[in-house]
Amino acid sequence: MVRWRERGASNVGCIVGLAVLAAAVLVAMRVIPTRIAVAELQDFCEQVAEQASLPRMTDSIIADQILIKAEEQHLPVSKENIKVWRDSSDIHVEVKYTVVLDLFVYDYTWAVVHRVDRVLF
Tell me how far apart the alpha carbons of residues 36 and 12 are, in angstroms, rounded to a whole number: 36
Tell me how far apart the alpha carbons of residues 15 and 51 are, in angstroms, rounded to a whole number: 54
> Is residue 11 predicted with pLDDT exceeding 80?
no
Residue 2: which pLDDT band, with cuts at 50, 70 and 90?
Answer: low
pLDDT tens digit sequence for 65-116 = 999 999 999 999 999 999 999 998 999 999 999 999 998 889 999 999 999 9
> Is residue 6 predicted with pLDDT exceeding 80?
no
> Is residue 1 predicted with pLDDT exceeding 60?
no
The angle at the Cα of 49, spanning 45 to 52, to the nearest 5 degrees, equals 140
- pLDDT at residue 120, as a whole number: 87
Locate the domains of the chain by residue range.
34-119
Would you say 94 and 115 are in contact if contact means Cβ atoms under 8 Å apart?
yes
Tell me how far apart the alpha carbons of residues 3 and 5 are, in angstroms, rounded to a whole number: 5
Would you say 75 and 38 are in contact if contact means Cβ atoms under 8 Å apart?
yes
Residue 38: which pLDDT band, with cuts at 50, 70 and 90?
Answer: very high
